[in-house]
Structure 1
Amino acid sequence: MAYFLLRQAWRSGALLLQRYVLPRPIEDVLTIVAACIATGVSAQGMWRFSGDVLGLDGPLRLLLFAFIEVAIVTSAVRARRNMRENYSAGIDGIAVWALTCLTAVLSSLDAHSLAEAIFRLAAPLVAAWLWERGMAIERHRIRGTGRIKWRLTPERMLVRLGLAEVSDRTASEVDAHRRLTRVALAAKKARNLREQGAPDRKIRAALSRLDKAMDQAVEHTGLAVDSGRQEALLAQIAALYNTEALVDADPRVPWGPHADHQPVPARPELPPALVELVAEEDDNMVLLDSNPQIVDIAERARLMREARSYWNRQIAKGIVPRTVDIAAEIGISPATARDWRSVWKLEPQAHALIEQLYREHGIIDTGTFPAIELQDEVPAAGR
């Protein structure tokens, strides 16, 4: 009978080892073993508490002493299932810690010494911590997210105190950067005092500090021969001198449209079909009035302003006016409208619209696109 029992136990142990232990990582197996040991220590404390404090004995004590440990294991299993299904431990994760603290306190109340009380307090907490770490690993494995980033760490404290560097710069690079910054700040201070009309004594003291900082920078950073550090110093001085320009800065919000702002795409290289059209318009367009208009300078300027205003309004709507449109709207000859249009169409916004029409619809700008049949010819302006 003993032989058969041992053989069955061996087979059961081998099956459990092959099915549940070997597929798991070694750290998970060790976590489970350590958590079981800590839970056993907590259960032994509850055994003594149920007998000494509650007065339970016999089968009743055997059935009731470990009810909190069973509840902890149940909550841990439910929390793991919630993690796999809902990606969060939920209320069961909180229950694990609450029940762990409860059993730790109850076990320590029946301790006979301070050391035993501390030991019985620590054992359940160790088990809960091991469970939490296992859940964190599984959470990262399922959700693909890392752990939280603590704001208060030793590294952050050392950086805050100036005892550590955030980047991987060497000590010489850090020292050079600080000396160049000292020079730039001293130059800004001296300039501000001079512009504010400060007394000569203060200006001389500021210039003396600037001269001293410059001497140290040249001596310790190689500023006289290092072009990279020369550019870095000039960049710092330029940034410090133009701080007031930030007040008038008008940064555009990238996700908010602006009524007066039309995004213009980058101008790529022109297609071969458009290269010839940049220099000249369509030679086949029939002009009724090939002679230029004879008007005075003031009248010509007024007509150009009106044509330009019409052009800007149409471009803002995403339309590139044709030559005949400009001529009909303003009342000028097509020849004059073509000359003005040939200059305005090269501007970035109009050029972008022309290239977009070419890429999307294959329409080539000849001054008359889109290609439609004109019913009536535009008469020459009688000006």
Structure 2
Amino acid sequence: MPTFDEIAAFVTEKPFATAVIALLGLASLVLAFLLLRITWRAGAFLFTRYVAPRPIEDVLTIVAASIATGVSAQGMWRFSGDVLGLDGPLRLLLFAFIEVAIITSAVRARRNMRENFSAGIDGIAVWALTCLTAVLSSMDARSLPEALFRLAAPLVAAWLWERGMAIERHRIRGTGRINWRLTPERLMVRMGLAEVSDRTASEVDAHRRLTRVALAAKKAKALREGGAPERKMRAALARLDKAMDQAVEHTGLAVDPGRQEALLAQIAALYNTSALIDADPRVPWEPTADHHPVPARPALPPALAELVDDEDEDVEVLDRAPQVVDTAQRAALMRAARDYWDRQIAKGIVPRTVDIAQEIGLSLSTAREYRALWKLEPAAHALIEALYHQHGIVDTGAFPAIADDGRVLTKSR
């Protein structure tokens, strides 16, 4: 490196060359600044467009897969030079053709996943080409550790790609790929080392002891009903007594009402197993499954049943003891009748005149007047129509006539 005196002497001797070098250096600095600025903006754009919207695990997957692919490509570089004898530009162009094919297949598989919900043949091609490049890279290794490393790098990249595809598949389809029938959890449950629920150890032990008591009781009952020999009966009763002793000791059966109910429920279920043969459960897709029957009306007293026919409200009824009430009492009776009417309509029942009269204590003529007005309302009218269409029941009560001015014309008696 020249000293300061030598630089000063050069500037004194060659001022024009010094000026040209200074201008070139300044232009280089400006060009470097512009390149750094463009690179920074391009990196910020790529980060905002492709990196920021992605979850952090996807970004790390891409970075790790790129590093593993680079390791695999370095192995193929050595393989193409040492084994194939390629050199120069030809080696540069041809050494990573398998890695390019892997990336192409991975992109196609991701597109197939988004369009057809399956990676298809391209997903298989990713694994096949990965295994191929791993084997070829390891064939030029100089030691066993190097061969294992070159085998592992492409497989790690493929595994990260597969996990990313599985996450995207679950995100698109909402489900996983398959549910394995043989898993470590299921093996533990099958061997009795784990439980399928979140019950505590004491709850599991109590349930098993109560089940032993119920099964022993069923066995003893079956032997007794089958006329078993006395020796077998004694053995069955001994097992039942032992199971009961252990249940009382370890489960608190004598003082725990919940455990007592659970034991009785198990015994009841085991004793009535034969009743399942005669069970006739309703099939949910039967035509009558969607049919909701109309609730039954309350029965009438014999005295009122003789006065009014169930299917005809227009029968002439004479009130032997007409009601004489004041205005306030009449308003209270009307409110009570209206509340009763609304409750019955909410239950799907259209009350009859005699129902209103019996419930509230009105005269039949007053109840008939109220009913004639209220049954024209949408909810009651819909129930009357449903009764007619479903069961053929005709509401024969007289609808009041409505004049042009909107007045309700009551029926003359």
TM-score under structure 1 normalisation?
0.69
- In the aligned structure 2, how far is the partner of 1:365 from the partner of 1:143? 44
TM-superposed deviation, 1:255? 2.9
TM-superposed deviation, 1:362? 6.0
Selected match of 2:126 from 89, 92, 96 = 96
Q: Does 1:281 align with 2:310?
A: yes
Selected match of 1:50 from 68, 75, 80 = 80
C-alpha contact 1:38 1:123 (8 A) present in aligned 2? yes
> Partner of 2:394: helix, strand, or coil?
coil
Structure 2 counterpart of 1:242, one-letter code: N
Structure 1 counterpart of 2:220, one-letter code: A
Query: Alpha carbon RMSD of aligned pairs, Å?
Result: 3.2
Structure 1 counterpart of 2:182, one-letter code: L
C-alpha contact 1:281 1:366 (8 A) present in aligned 2? no
For structure 1, which segment, 154-163 or 82-91, has the greater mean C-alpha deviation from structure 2 after superposition? 82-91
Q: Does 1:369 align with 2:399?
A: no
Q: 1:237 is matched with which residue?
A: 267
Within a 5 Å distance, the mapping from 1:140-179 to structure 2 comes to: 140-179=170-209
Structure 2, unaligned runs of 5 or more: 1-27, 316-379, 397-413
> Partner of 1:81: helix, strand, or coil?
helix
Q: Does 1:121 align with 2:146?
A: no
Selected match of 1:11 from 33, 41, 51 = 41
Equivalenced residues, count: 297
Structure 1, unaligned runs of 5 or more: 287-354, 372-383
Within a 5 Å distance, the mapping from 1:63-78 to structure 2 comes to: 63-78=93-108
TM-superposed deviation, 1:230? 1.4
Q: 1:246 is matched with which residue?
A: 276
- In the aligned structure 2, how far is the partner of 1:284 from the partner of 1:14? 85
- In the aligned structure 2, how far is the partner of 1:244 from the partner of 1:135? 53
Structure 2 counterpart of 1:281, one-letter code: D
Q: Does 1:29 align with 2:29?
A: no
Structure 2 counterpart of 1:149, one-letter code: N
Structure 2 counterpart of 1:182, one-letter code: R
TM-superposed deviation, 1:250? 3.8
For structure 1, which segment, 101-110 or 64-73, has the greater mean C-alpha deviation from structure 2 after superposition? 101-110
- In the aligned structure 2, how far is the partner of 1:367 from the partner of 1:63? 88
1:147-204 CA distances to partner (integer Å, 9 max, x unpaired)? 5333222222211111111112122211111111111111111111112222111111
Which protein has greater RCO, CA pairs closer than 8 Å, 6+ apart?
1
TM-superposed deviation, 1:46? 0.9
Structure 1 counterpart of 2:394, one-letter code: F
Question: In percent, how many aligned pairs have the same letter?
Answer: 78
Q: 1:220 is matched with which residue?
A: 250
Cα gap change, 1:365/1:148 in structure 2, threshold over 3 Å: closer, same or farther? closer
Q: Does 1:204 align with 2:234?
A: yes
Structure 1 counterpart of 2:107, one-letter code: V
Structure 2 counterpart of 1:223, one-letter code: L
1:194-215 CA distances to partner (integer Å, 9 max, x unpaired)? 1222211111111011111111
> Partner of 1:93: helix, strand, or coil?
helix
C-alpha contact 2:113 2:119 (8 A) present in aligned 1? yes
C-alpha contact 2:189 2:195 (8 A) present in aligned 1? yes
Q: 1:20 is matched with which residue?
A: 50
TM-superposed deviation, 1:252? 4.3
C-alpha contact 1:282 1:366 (8 A) present in aligned 2? no
Within a 5 Å distance, the mapping from 1:199-348 to structure 2 comes to: 199-255=229-285, 262-263=288-289, 265-267=291-293, 269=295, 281-282=310-311
- In the aligned structure 2, how far is the partner of 1:254 from the partner of 1:103? 58
Structure 1 counterpart of 2:310, one-letter code: E
1:217-238 CA distances to partner (integer Å, 9 max, x unpaired)? 1222222222221111111111
Cα gap change, 1:281/1:55 in structure 2, threshold over 3 Å: closer, same or farther? same
C-alpha contact 1:194 1:203 (8 A) present in aligned 2? yes
Larger Rg: 2
Cα gap change, 1:107/1:366 in structure 2, threshold over 3 Å: closer, same or farther? closer
TM-superposed deviation, 1:88? 2.1
Selected match of 2:114 from 60, 75, 84 = 84
Q: Does 1:60 align with 2:103?
A: no
- In the aligned structure 1, how far is the partner of 2:137 from the partner of 2:216? 67
Cα gap change, 1:121/1:197 in structure 2, threshold over 3 Å: closer, same or farther? same
- In the aligned structure 1, how far is the partner of 2:250 from the partner of 2:294? 47
TM-superposed deviation, 1:142? 2.4
Q: Does 1:39 align with 2:69?
A: yes
Cα gap change, 1:284/1:21 in structure 2, threshold over 3 Å: closer, same or farther? closer
TM-superposed deviation, 1:16? 2.2
> Partner of 1:169: helix, strand, or coil?
coil
- In the aligned structure 2, how far is the partner of 1:359 from the partner of 1:242? 45
TM-superposed deviation, 1:28? 1.4
For structure 1, which segment, 189-198 or 144-153, has the greater mean C-alpha deviation from structure 2 after superposition? 144-153
TM-superposed deviation, 1:242? 1.8
- In the aligned structure 2, how far is the partner of 1:135 from the partner of 1:41? 22
Q: 2:16 is matched with which residue?
A: none
- In the aligned structure 2, how far is the partner of 1:368 from the partner of 1:24? 66
> Partner of 2:45: helix, strand, or coil?
helix
